[in-house]
Amino acid sequence: MDQTLFPGGYFKEFIFFHQASKTLILTVTIINLELDMIDEPWRTVTKLTGMAHPHGRTFLGMRLPILLHRQKARAVIGKLQSWQPRRVFLSHGRCFDANEDEIVRRIFGKTAW
């Protein structure tokens, strides 16, 4: 199992990668909550922050720290791309399958790193 530390201020995260299954394992880097599974006020907060299934998004508490640690984030993104993940297991929300480019976009958005 490979791993890397993703910068994020207080919310740093170890990202794990299982080579044999091409699976990333994340805890808070991305949240992909199904709205029908949560109550208010969390449903509204999830919609407003863009962390709703099927698109998911980077956890709100990590977005500013990521921008402040852009160089470190770029290095991690390069590592994730080199791993070529095909699926992501999440602690918060529905997991997803995709190619590595889509996974990186889902985790980090369309921001130019």
- Rounded to the nearest integer, the mean pLDDT of the chain is 84
Of 90, 18, 5, the closest CA to residue 53 belongs to 90
Within 10 A of 8 (CB to CB), how many other CB atoms are there? 23
Is the per-residue pLDDT at 113 higher than 60?
A: no
- Domain annotation covers residue 101: yes
Tell me, what's the pLDDT at 77? 84
- Domain annotation covers residue 7: yes
Average the pLDDT over 8-25 and give the result: 87
pLDDT digit string, tens, across residues 38-67? 999 999 999 998 889 988 888 877 777 778
Average the pLDDT over 80-101 and give the result: 85
- Domain annotation covers residue 78: yes
- Domain annotation covers residue 47: yes
Of 54, 62, 64, the closest CA to residue 13 belongs to 62
- Domain annotation covers residue 113: no
- Domain annotation covers residue 38: yes
Is the per-residue pLDDT at 76 higher than 70?
A: yes
Is the per-residue pLDDT at 101 higher than 50?
A: yes
- Domain annotation covers residue 66: yes
- Count of helix runs (H) and strand runs (E) in the chain: 4, 7
Q: Which residue has the higher pLDDT, 36 or 62?
A: 36
- Domain annotation covers residue 27: yes
- In terms of residue numbers, what domain contains 55? 2-108
Q: How far apart are CA 40 and CA 25, in angstroms?
A: 28
Pair of tokens at residue 16: 């794990």
Provide the percentage of residues in the chain whose pLDDT is more than 90.
30
Tell me, what's the pLDDT at 33? 93
How many distinct structural domains can be found in the chain?
Answer: 1
